[in-house]
Amino acid sequence: MGVGGCLALPWRCLVVLCLRLLFLVPAGVPVRSGDATFPKAMDNVTVRQGESATLSSILYAGNDKWCLDPRVVLLANTKTQYSIQIQDVDVYDEGPYTCSVQTDNHPKTSRVHLIVQVSPKIIEISPDISINEGGNVSLTCLATGRPDPTITWRHISPKAVGFISEDEYLEITGITREQSGEYECSASNDVSAPVVQRVKVTVNYPPYISDAKSTGVPVGQKGILLCEASAVPSADFQWYKDDKRLAEGQKGLKVENKPFFSRLTFFNVSEQDYGNYTCVASNQLGNTNASMILYGE
């Protein structure tokens, strides 16, 4: 006596995964499910994308069996009890599965719901940005995953404490130079380790001279005047004695410019070198200056 079994997604008309099983049950072979009836409740089976899902104890039949999908493997638990394994599970495999066995008396059915989990993936994030101090910044970080991942933003800075946003979007109004640096977006849903990406935010501001001190040097000795300035982009430096600009390579002098400071060196200080000197630091956002005195001791 023959019976037919079908494993399918009854609520879909078009399904990429075709899971149909046909069973021929020899006479006298019982359909096994506890007390010969399938459980009524639907069990959940949760698996991560790319792994294999085993839907246990839902198929009970004889020895003749077949399946159309090459990813589906029928596992024999006993001679009359089987489990189904779906290899390389993808999101479209998620949903309810029904095992039906038709006997002469009445059909017996068991249902299981397959849940597919997907690791988080950041699919869109703002590019690095350069903005003038006082401007407004809007950063975006979009991610996918199952369940939906939680998005958090963090400022990578020794002065930053904790998260600064728990949303896909980070808005900074009137940004300051202290808020420059890298911002890290993290997407997590507990399926796997969080994924992170970073955005570099450069805040431009005009030069600010932080150190310019007068110096006393005896005649015939080496003397140095130092001018330190912070700026983004880096400042360009110029030196003046009174109202006269000092040229690079001028006899007895050396001007050394670095991104954040300029050094004026006198190799052999003379009486004519004493006087008032002005350091000017400038970039495209503005300029500033500071005066200092080289005097004798």
Per-residue pLDDT at 53:
66
Per-residue pLDDT at 23:
32
Dihedral in degrees, nearest 10, Cα atoms 36, 42, 43, 44 = 150
Instruction: Give CA separation, 179 vs 29, 132, 136, 204, 257, in Å.
Output: 74, 12, 12, 11, 27
Nearest-5° Cα angle at 75, 48 to 85: 20
Per-residue pLDDT at 56:
57
Per-residue pLDDT at 109:
74
Per-residue pLDDT at 288:
97
3-state secondary structure of 270: coil
pTM over 0.85, yes/no: no
Residue 6 CA to residue 35 CA, distance in Å, equals 21
Per-residue pLDDT at 4:
34
Task: pLDDT tens for the chain, 297 residues: list them.
Answer: 333 333 433 322 222 233 333 332 222 223 333 333 444 445 677 777 776 666 654 344 444 444 567 788 777 666 666 677 888 888 888 888 877 666 666 667 778 888 899 999 999 999 999 999 999 999 999 999 999 999 999 999 877 767 788 999 999 999 999 999 999 999 999 899 999 999 999 999 999 999 999 999 999 999 999 999 999 999 999 999 988 999 877 788 999 999 899 999 999 999 999 999 999 999 999 999 999 999 998
Give the residue carrying structure tokens 């994030």: 125
Instruction: Give CA separation, 91 vs 50, 112, 146, in Å.
Output: 9, 16, 9
